[in-house]
Amino acid sequence: MKKTPAPPKVSSDHLNKLEVGKIVKAFMESVEEVIETMGMTKIEARTKAATLTEHAYIKGDAAGSLAFTGDYSGLFIISFDKLAICEITTNMLFAEKPYTNHRDADVEGAIGELTNQMNGVARNKINKLNGWKANAGIPSVIIGEDISWALYASGTLVIHIPYTTPQMHELYVEVAVSDHPVIGEIKI
């Protein structure tokens, strides 16, 4: 059984961001890997536009979310503009005719599957790197037009990372971390 490594000797504020950064990096890598392998789409993170806050305001036309709990806890959300998820689903399903309706059952299924796969890959990476384990439930999928979703949680660190597809459509990743094995319950 792996032991949780001792925390690095750094200031409390830096530790919060450093330790949460390890979790976020695993989620970023998993998003890129899963969309590239399953969705046959190379996406680009716009890391200079990433933000770290105590709340998030998710936007888009479709989103998938999945909570995780265990040695570390939080919420993973990926949201898409309708053209981005249609582009990814078309590639993922090798569709002869491009998907144009983000409300299509195939698109909804793709969002759920991508969300589940991304979360699983990220949790596996975190476990291999640090020995930390977390479980996840069943993904939730929300589809609409210009949906917005406010996420507020006292003490939670929320990282927002925008991405673009090859056709310059947008998707966004939100990783909210509320509990961490090295720093415990997060206090900002």
DSSP annotation string for 102-168: TTSHHHHHHHHHHHHHHHHHHHHHHHHHH---EEE-PPEEEEEEEEEEEEE-TT-EEEEEEEE-TT-
pLDDT digits (tens, 9 = 90+) for 76-93: 999 999 999 999 999 999
pLDDT of residue 181: 55
What the chain holds in terms of domains, given with CATH numbers, is 12-185 (3.40.1550.10)
pLDDT one digit per residue (tens) for the chain, 188 residues: 555 444 333 334 444 667 778 888 999 999 999 999 999 999 999 988 888 777 767 789 999 999 998 888 888 999 999 999 999 999 999 999 999 999 999 999 999 999 999 999 999 999 998 888 999 999 999 999 998 877 666 667 788 899 999 999 999 999 988 765 554 554 43
Q: Would you give the end-to-end CA distance of the chain in angstroms?
A: 31
Strand partners, 87: none
Predicted confidence at residue 9, as pLDDT, reads: 39
Contact yes or no for 142/149 (Cβ under 8 A): yes
Of 62, 160, 174, the residue nearest 110 (C-alpha): 62
Q: Which of 59, 22, 16, 34 is nearest to 174 (CA)?
A: 59
**Amino acid 113: pLDDT:** 97
- CA gap 80, 24 in Å, rounded: 19
Q: Quickly count: other Cβ atoms within 10 Å of residue 149's Cβ.
A: 15
Backbone phi and psi for residue 168, each to the nearest 5 degrees, phi listed first: 65, 30
How far is CA 18 from its chain centroid? 18
